[in-house]
Structure 1
């Protein structure tokens, strides 16, 4: 069984406003509006499902928006098992100015309590013991939950020899590194935040990733936007690049990259093959208007044009 578990501890209802031209200080009317179940782990789930993988999505939700969230997951045929609490799941708004293509986001924070995480942990362990191949923990944490909460999830997976991919940022990522997950995926800015300095060259980025690998993280993938991505392991460095494509929407591209990579690993593909698939999924997402989604026909074309260079990790 190759089922992948995605963990979204701070999910959201994602509201997307498409506006012909945003005028600050004035009334702006939307041309179209979309409401979807959101959160980084949900984007990962959607991509894995589109690739044909087996997926189970879990996390913590609550209130009216939490019920709406679950209904959206069911509509998208994403198998799920969430802990329901008394706290209201957040709403996040993305306003797209169609005249410029720029996206303005309004992201709510959401409350939670440590006891909610403790209850979730019981559910999580039960799920792990029922045939999970790989876990992807994505996104931020609810306010009120300890910053090292992912560490506990990583350790529980490790006890059962289940690989854990961590995609978060800031203090939560710094803490998560201590639990030595199978892979982390910072973008360049997030990596610079860890080291509190600017990384100006590819060599500097690779060297920073090497430091994290030496701390016990098996693999560090750094996404570089239009400049591709780098994967650093104990023994090798992979660099992925792709030809210039028309970018429509980069929101969810990092999650799509994780989805492709996780699917590849769960299906027994090599690190290099999984890395290539991940970068191809992230690129495909950026070519679409939707968030955290891929088109298989476009993916096939993109995949054929991804170039992977490999060098020893000296």
Structure 2
């Protein structure tokens, strides 16, 4: 089995408060509280771990919250090797009230500096000496103050060792990262519109946008479309994946679950269409659960045969 390395450069302690009749400007007492290691790369790690993959998680943490972060990872049996810095790992708060549509979120910004950047690049090079690592998933934003081209450096180091690099970030960080030729990027439609600065009205528009990003350097482009499924654009093929009608409870973390499923299948040397199918199945399963960034194997095994993958010929 090929090992998968996940990278979370802006991790967090995710705090989830369940409050009834939440009101601004008043004292609100929580009925339930949940604290977990958070960050997009951690969601990816959790999915791969549940699927039975060989996973190692890395990134940058620091301070008291960083120690709590590692404790939570260890409790979830996720192998890890993080760089510890002097900067406190951020805390992100989600307030859930069953009487209010949506989730109220309060998100801190994580911090770093160029010394932290250089230290992590050295750590990454050391980790990459493990020849069993064949796939890397880097997810989420960068800490403020670190090298804005950090992902480019990591992708270039990985490509030299013929390690497949999956990049799931957004905005200028994604645009820059594409130039380093990652194996796969995973924007959603809105992120794709943002980085290309134009509206994508039709499926053909979206496919052509994916092709444009391949011309810019990405080897493969997976575009998630919410309830409409997803598209996978490669250098010579286009696939569309759809899922059956299901009861959606929480879509947060579904994109990360999609990446986790795709990466796990890739570590099993499956075809790109098979990786795509498992990715969509994991993303759909996550959306059917209350908890963020996780899957239930019974639900996954029921959903997987119902995922339809078709090749599109333009």
Output the TM-score relative to the length of structure 2: 0.97
| Structure-2 residue corresponding to 1:59 | 59
Structure 2 CA distance, aligned partners of 1:199 and 1:96?
33
| Structure-2 residue corresponding to 1:275 | 276
Structure 2 CA distance, aligned partners of 1:45 and 1:267?
16
Structure 1 CA distance, aligned partners of 2:89 and 2:67?
9
| Structure-2 residue corresponding to 1:25 | 25
How far has the Cα of 1:196 moved from its partner? 1.0
How far has the Cα of 1:242 moved from its partner? 1.1
The superposition leaves residues 68-88 of structure 1 with CA deviations (integer Å, 9 ceiling, x where unpaired) of 000000110000000001000
How far has the Cα of 1:21 moved from its partner? 3.0
Instruction: Give secondary structure in 1 for the equivalent of 2:312.
Output: strand
| Structure-2 residue corresponding to 1:6 | 6
Instruction: Give secondary structure in 2 for the equivalent of 1:121.
Output: helix
1:300 aligns with 2:269: no
Does structure 2 retain, via aligned residues, the 8 Å contact 1:112–1:142? yes
Structure 1 CA distance, aligned partners of 2:311 and 2:279?
16
Instruction: Give secondary structure in 1 for the equivalent of 2:231.
Output: strand
The superposition leaves residues 21-79 of structure 1 with CA deviations (integer Å, 9 ceiling, x where unpaired) of 32233332222110000000000000000000000000000000000000000110000
Structure 2 CA distance, aligned partners of 1:242 and 1:26?
43
Please, what is the CA RMSD of the aligned residues? Answer: 1.0
| Structure-2 residue corresponding to 1:169 | 170
| Structure-2 residue corresponding to 1:181 | 182
Does structure 2 retain, via aligned residues, the 8 Å contact 1:147–1:171? no
Structure 2 CA distance, aligned partners of 1:201 and 1:53?
37
Instruction: Give secondary structure in 1 for the equivalent of 2:294.
Output: coil
| Structure-2 residue corresponding to 1:41 | 41
The superposition leaves residues 87-135 of structure 1 with CA deviations (integer Å, 9 ceiling, x where unpaired) of 0000011111212441121111011011111111111111111121100
Q: Which segments of structure 1 move beyond 4 Å, counting only runs of 4 or more?
A: none
Structure 2 CA distance, aligned partners of 1:215 and 1:100?
42
How far has the Cα of 1:146 moved from its partner? 2.1
Listed as ranges, the gaps of 5+ residues in structure 2 are none
Structure 2 CA distance, aligned partners of 1:242 and 1:59?
33
Output the TM-score relative to the length of structure 1: 0.97
Does structure 2 retain, via aligned residues, the 8 Å contact 1:135–1:164? yes
The superposition leaves residues 265-288 of structure 1 with CA deviations (integer Å, 9 ceiling, x where unpaired) of 111111000000001100100100
Structure 2 CA distance, aligned partners of 1:217 and 1:53?
25
Structure 2 CA distance, aligned partners of 1:235 and 1:140?
30
Structure 2 CA distance, aligned partners of 1:30 and 1:98?
12
| Structure-1 residue corresponding to 2:266 | 265
Structure 2 CA distance, aligned partners of 1:104 and 1:181?
34
Structure 2 CA distance, aligned partners of 1:201 and 1:311?
14
Instruction: Give secondary structure in 1 for the equivalent of 2:157.
Output: helix
| Structure-1 residue corresponding to 2:78 | 78
Structure 2 CA distance, aligned partners of 1:244 and 1:27?
40
Structure 2 CA distance, aligned partners of 1:311 and 1:228?
14
| Structure-1 residue corresponding to 2:232 | 231
How far has the Cα of 1:307 moved from its partner? 1.0
Matched positions, count: 313
| Structure-2 residue corresponding to 1:120 | 120
| Structure-1 residue corresponding to 2:211 | 210
Residues 89-100 of structure 1 correspond to what in structure 2 (within 5 A)?
89-100=89-100
Name which of structure 1's ranges 38-47 and 16-25 shifts more when overlaid on structure 2: 16-25
